[in-house]
Amino acid sequence: MTVSEVVGRLPDGSPVHAHTIGGADRPQLRVLDLGATVASLHAFDPDPHGERPNLVLGHRDVGGYLRTPTPYLGATVGRFANRIAGARFELAGVVHRLAPNEGDTCLHGGPGGFHSRVWTVTDLGPDRITLELVSEDGDQGFPGELTASVTYTVTGAAVHVDLRATTTATTVVNLTNHTYWNLAGEGSGSVDGHRLTVDAAHYLPVDSQGIPLDGAEPVDGTPLDLRRGEALGACARRSHPQTEAVRGIDHCLVLDGGGLRRAARLEEPRSGRHLEVHTDQPGLQVYTGNHLDGTVLGTSGRWYRQGDGVALETQNPPDAPNRSWARSAVLDPGSEYLSRTQWRLGQDPPSVEEGP
């Protein structure tokens, strides 16, 4: 099915639309043109109670998406996802200064990043939506006019997220989706009991600002060793210099292998619901909602608190334009940036008994 409706307005009176695709025997996805945002994603199969819960965090109204600072709930972020240290980078001998929005750091494209723009719907069908955004040359300090698009496709038990971009001048780009997951259902509380597996033998240690200290290090012996599956709460709250630096987990794990492959598996034991994230990107930023502090009102009317959702952001490593060891984030005219991610949902028998 396809349903489109006005759900709010910007301060200048411009409408914000929500578009719903999928449903029936497929996941039901609701996307806002504001930020090309995943506002809700309902499971395709019922849980043991016969419910098809919303599995992602979102704001209760449009005003929530416009708040500053923002938790980027479900947003498409860019031009450069994650952090650029010092809000600057050098390209072909020219220093480009960006708009900082986290101290002197540029986070997720800066204060006027793609999450805060209204995207144009260029294709809409029962199971597919494409949104496009044109970012002018010099926008937020980035060179080149960038044309970015995101296509969400609902198929079977999965949602495919395809991010593309082209430019008129050599630039850097790193796009991702910033959905927070709670497989017990949005508004159900902490995801501490969720079990997360990440196919990564290395991670990027960071300082207290979330900036990489240097290159990748082995995950062995750290809370970032998620190769065999670990409860999120136990990892995020484990005493370790890295979890203490960022109040939990907010780290890029360097994924094993290349091409489209599994990056992570998230499991909720009480419902048996699980999510597999597949991607062609080199890194997965795992963020345990460390700064959700009870001031964000969710779609269910519940105030979100620390650990009420986990973001699994497929992307290039943070600060890649300033790091010689990172995969190049440079995009030239005539080339296309392409990032593919799949969210594969499933349901197993519950492995934990429900309480009375």
Tell me whether residue 313 is one of the annotated catalytic residues.
yes
Q: In angstroms, rounded to a whole number, what is the distance separating the alpha carbons of residues 280 and 101?
A: 29
* Torsion angle defined by CA atoms of residues 65, 70, 71 and 72, in that order, rounded to the nearest 10 degrees: 60
C-beta of residue 264 within 8 angstroms of C-beta of residue 276: yes
Separation CA 179–CA 119 (nearest Å) = 17
> How many Cα neighbours within 13 Å face the side chain of 33?
23
Given 186, 230, 267, 313, which residue is catalytic?
A: 313
Distant-in-sequence, close-in-space partners of 71: CB < 8 Å, separation ≥ 6: 180, 289, 291, 292, 296, 304
Closest CA to 178 of 234, 114, 129: 114
Fill in the amino acid letter for 199. Answer: D
State the Cα angle at 314 between 311 and 315, rounded to 5°.
Answer: 125
Give the C-alpha separation, 171 to 17, whole Å. 31
Report the SS3 class of residue 140: helix
Q: How many CB atoms lie within 10 A of CB 170?
A: 15
**H-helix or E-strand spanning residue 234:** helix 232-236
Residues in the chain: 356
Contacts of 200 (CB under 8 A, 6+ apart): 219, 224, 226, 227, 253, 254, 255, 256, 263, 284
Is 202 tagged catalytic?
A: no
Catalytic residue among 108, 178, 251, 274: 178
Place of tokens 């960022």: 246
Take residue 156 and report the two structure tokens written for it: 């079977």
d(CA 22, CA 30): 9
Structure tokens at 134: 């044109």
Closest CA to 55 of 266, 341, 352, 339: 266
| Residues 105 and 111: beta-carbon distance below 8 Å | no
Q: What is the enclosing helix (H) or strand (E) of 245?
A: helix 241-246
Just list the catalytic residues.
178, 313
